[in-house]
Chain A
């Protein structure tokens, strides 16, 4: 495989069978179309390239900026393509709820603009949808934008009608599958693939999956939101079914842990929706059938999303030297020092004063001569053992004396003979009129 450009590596993705023991369907062969193996990591590589390839000539000379309303994969692919061709890229979005993708786009050099949230006091003049506002902005006179317009651009669906769909048919030995199951975002992949499969065999049944309302699965729109998409045509689908984010993550776990497929939540939603839809039909069948679903993108960008919804999946066992393990008895026995006594002690120069607050707050105001070890870092340090020599007394300070008392108890348990907590913390210190400095 030798290419002159990375864009030549877009497409020709594998179609992989899911083991029957995993999905439990007796009469249906279920295949995953692994679109996450595209070079930029998702099925959006195809439409992104298809929407810009014929407009790149001279775009740099005309000073054009590539723009798209995208919260993720389309933006990622366009940012990379724009970069290769010397063009700036701007993504406007109101749906960027996956922080890793935001950071990745910034790393790729993209500019991101996020639309404001809904007004709390009703403004009756504010009824334009983000898409309309965005289109108004782009059609302003003198604008030099290369707007790919993925929600309305027929080249989006065409990329799948001429690429993804025919690939599936070729890999199934020239036959279309009996069912095709896809998540609906811009509707580009579901519409395009469905079109080419049906051209080959009109009997193909197409299931569109949308997000459950008031839920959020990256890259999928809810039943109401798909109506705002120009490419969306309800006639394409034999059935439209809703998937919850919980179900998407369940499906994702199956693909990750049992199928060796590094799928993101959207692929998980497609797998879950496919098995759920097919299970009822499977029992009625007397002959072999096939079904295909799409794995849109990879799992790595969604760790924050998983942490937010299923923290237990990323849970770690508690560690030995952790402030969480301090008992009430240890806490009661820990030593604390009231502000007047602490002032005299600090002035004597004997204790090492450790301020556990964040660096910004420490930098603004702190006890003269103190050391700043922010709590997160301090927790890491004590896991490995005592971070101070036992010959040096320590005074711990935090905002109000709670956290410092907990650490004083922990360090005492770990064998430090003289560690005390500043009672009432830096707040009490300030309230008593004791000096705080900026260096």
Chain B
């Protein structure tokens, strides 16, 4: 068994790769603002939105790309997006207020998720489309519109529980949406509230990486649009939800080698790869492997815009033509709600190395001035290596003789506070004062799980931008997508 370092090197586009080469700049930021520190790159989100829009153009489809705001707490990313043609979906009244304050106007906003009366009122008042979960929400929205004399409210009906013909594809049960089979009563309700509600489309939101269930749901939506039209409504869009995925890793081969090694470790054919022999969901019973890897598929052949392209290119399960073609022929625009995929490459989280202990009788311990709440990668099942940003010299080549497996310890007084349970391989042993940069944390892994536990500081957030080879920064809340000169 090879004991070569099992690297999981991050996939980095030009922007974040250049930022990670700017060691003195990053050290200056952490010196001034403390560790942990969250860094966002607003320009990347504009690039991602443009790539999603290009997929729709390639399929000749009209539509809107709604950023699922819940993936980030950053103002800079939301404000930057407001300056593009992208839209935004808000999952709480605070997110909606934040988006309105960032420059989004009602026509570019959608309200999703569980809604209270205040959220519904603010959406209806500002002309935000409401992605309605069910009949109760529609009734409530109609009441609000009438009681407050608000303009007719655009709604998208979220449907779930689509049945496939032939082979039954089992879907995980979802908390959200109205069963597609119960569309009839929903349409009766809309007819009753014609004066208050205008159904502009239908949609689904499925938590799965598989395009099979999504193809079934999308086709079900095409049929639902037809049902709406037959009742005299004029729907124009189908909301294909989120779940486009991010490929976190640079090399498929490293991911394959690593997951195979996890299997071997579970079977006891090689040493443990994680703290306390943790198996990430794998275990062995009577010599047979059981369980499944509770990991995000960190290397994906098709992620983000490419995944949307794949979905639109797939033949519909029963109508037979490619889904994109069916949407086009049925005169439907596409609404998509990427969160993680739009935030791809838009940020990283920096942590200062406080102490390195080599007297552990195993892999050395590297203690950092941050904890697992500040870097949500492990919490989301994402395994990816941090990048060592040395205080002094240049980093050694990754295949150098100094490669070492370490455990990353957090700053909480808690046995279980490891940044990740796995043994992380670094090109060399870090020194106190070095930084570890956790890559690609902007989507869900930056502030989603941060806490003030034990009164440890949560990360400040800064927005950075490269101008003619020089990196500039400002606090996240200071960022606006205009230049200092007002251009």
Contact = CB atoms under 8 A, between A and B. Distances in A.
Contact of A116 (B170, B292, B379): B170
Nearest to B301: A214
A224 B263 contact: yes
B224 to A, nearest CB: 12
A361 interface: yes
A230 B288 contact: yes
B331 interface: yes
B290 A117 contact: no
B212 A228 contact: no
Nearest to A355: B329
B373 interface: no
B319 A112 contact: no
Interface stretch (B202-210, B357-365, B400-408): B202-210
Interface in A410-439: 426-427, 430, 438
Given A358-B321, A399-B329, A228 B168 contact: no
> What range describes how many residues of B lie at the interface?
35 or more
Contact of A214 (B213, B252, B263): B252
B398 to A, nearest CB: 22
B60 to A, nearest CB: 5
A358 B319 contact: yes
Residue of B229, B294, B444 ringed by the most chain A CB atoms within 10 A:
B294
A223 B262 CA distance: 12
B228 to A, nearest CB: 10
A122 B381 contact: yes
A113 interface: yes
Interface in A206-243: 213-214, 223-224, 227-230, 232-233
Given A102-B167, A120-B208, A360-B319, A126 B213 contact: no
B168 A113 contact: yes
Contacts, number: 140
A119 B172 contact: yes
A427 B60 CA distance: 11
Contacts of A213: 256, 259-260
B50 to A, nearest CB: 21
A112 B167 contact: yes
A438 B320 CA distance: 22
B48 interface: no
A138 B222 CA distance: 36
Given A102-B166, A116-B172, A214-B252, A122 B380 contact: yes
B230 interface: yes
A90 to B, nearest CB: 10
| Most A-side CB within 10 Å, residue of B296, B297, B326, B329 | B329
A358 B229 contact: no
Interface string A255-288: 0000000000000000000000000000000000
Contacts of B113: none
A103 B165 CA distance: 11
B244 to A, nearest CB: 8
A105 B142 CA distance: 48
B396 interface: no
Given A213-B256, A358-B321, A121 B207 contact: yes
Contacts of A246: none
A369 B379 CA distance: 59
B169 to A, nearest CB: 5
Interface string A280-319: 0000000000000000000000000000000000000000
Contact of A124 (B207, B226, B294): B294
Interface stretch (A46-54, A127-135, A323-331): A127-135
B230 A438 contact: yes
B297 A118 contact: yes
A126 B60 contact: no
- Interface residues of chain B: helix, strand, loop or mixed (majority): loop
B101 interface: no
Contact of A357 (B168, B169, B289, B329): B329
- Most A-side CB within 10 Å, residue of B287, B289, B379: B289
Contacts of B289: 129, 224, 227-228
B377 to A, nearest CB: 11
Interface string A393-406: 00000011010000
Given A114-B212, A120-B207, A214 B291 contact: no
Nearest to A117: B210
A102 B320 CA distance: 15
B167 A438 contact: no
Interface size range on A against B: 35 or more
B328 interface: yes
B303 to A, nearest CB: 11
Contact of B329 (A106, A115, A361): A361
B325 interface: yes
B171 interface: yes
A438 B229 contact: yes
Contacts of A102: 166-167
A113 to B, nearest CB: 5
Interface in B147-203: 166-172
A116 B208 CA distance: 8
Interface in A116-161: 116-124, 126-132
A120 to B, nearest CB: 4
A116 B169 contact: yes
Interface string B280-299: 01000011111111111100
B245 interface: yes
A122 B296 contact: yes
Nearest to B62: A427
A399 B60 contact: yes
Nearest to A357: B329
A115 B296 contact: no
A373 interface: no
Nearest to B168: A113
Contacts of A16: none
Interface string A96-113: 100000110110000111
Nearest to A152: B288
A203 interface: no
Interface in B302-327: 319-321, 325-326
Return the 4 tightest CB-CB contacts between A and B, nearest first. A117-B210, A361-B329, A127-B281, A112-B167
19 contacts: A102-B167, A105-B167, A112-B168, A113-B168, A117-B210, A118-B209, A121-B380, A122-B380, A124-B381, A127-B281, A128-B292, A213-B259, A214-B256, A224-B263, A228-B289, A361-B326, A399-B60, A399-B329, A400-B328
